Amino acid sequence: MGTDIHRGLELWQPRVYNEWEALRAGAWFGAAGSNTHQLSADRLYAAYVAAPRDVVVDRVGVSVYAADSGKTLWLGLYADDDRDGCPDRLVLDAGTVDVSTAGDKEIAVDVQLHAGSYYIAFLGDGTPQLSANTAPRTRTPLGMIAAKPSLYVQTWWVNRDAGPLPELFPSGVTADYREYQVAMRVACVL
């Protein structure tokens, strides 16, 4: 702390602390679910996650509640480069996880993220159920859903054929209030 002199008055500078800047190496960051929601095939989802400081991510994962035999999910990360609250540029195409069985699925990765807003993307060729919070009241910087002013935007989605994630996130997104249980693990804070 310190002081400023303004018009002869000594003013204390408040120390501002943002508890959301705390990041712990080895911890997962994303959303947790206490309910489930069935995904739509050929739909690209992007779930908001913040990186308030520069980090290295060593895993991305998803929690599959009910399996879909012979099907896969593509996982990755998009950056919100222009800070408009929507995913923009593909930072990481992590590959696929098999959703033929239920459980936590993860992919080892090695990617450095600068402080900013990101989205954990998932796109499937099937309709597994993911663990999800289906009526969250968690506040995000993405604003509230227009038709449901008591629910905040947690995820964006757009219809797209299943396959590798596109370099640029497609336009024409739809807001979704569900928090899907997808996450990234921070290996270290830089």
21-67 per-position pLDDT tens digit: 788 899 999 887 788 999 999 999 999 999 999 999 999 999 999 99
What's 63's domain CATH number? 2.60.120
Q: Is residue 121 part of a domain?
A: yes
Each residue of 99-112: b (16+ CB within 10 Å) or e? beeeeebbbebebe
Q: Is residue 167 part of a domain?
A: yes
Residue 16 in this model has a pLDDT that exceeds 70:
no
Q: Is residue 26 part of a domain?
A: yes
| Domain range enclosing 109 | 22-189
β-pair partners for 3: 12
Q: Is residue 125 part of a domain?
A: yes
Residue 121, C-beta contacts closer than 8 angstroms, at least 6 positions apart: 44, 45, 46, 47, 74, 75, 76, 77, 78, 87, 90, 165, 169
Q: Is residue 16 part of a domain?
A: no
Q: Is residue 13 part of a domain?
A: no
Largest CA distance in the chain: 74
Question: What domain count does the chain have?
Answer: 1
Residue 92, C-beta contacts closer than 8 angstroms, at least 6 positions apart: 57, 60, 76, 77, 109, 111
Using a cut of 0.75, tell me whether the model's pTM lies above it: yes
Q: Is residue 14 part of a domain?
A: no
**What is the band of 1 on the pLDDT scale with cuts at 50, 70, 90?**
very low
Fill in the amino acid letter for 37.
H
Q: What pLDDT, in 10s, does the model give residues 104-115? A: 999 999 999 999
Distances (CA, A) of 160 to 10, 169, 171: 59, 10, 11
Task: Give dist(CA 79, CA 95) in Å, integer.
Answer: 17
pLDDT at 149: 75
Q: Is residue 160 part of a domain?
A: yes
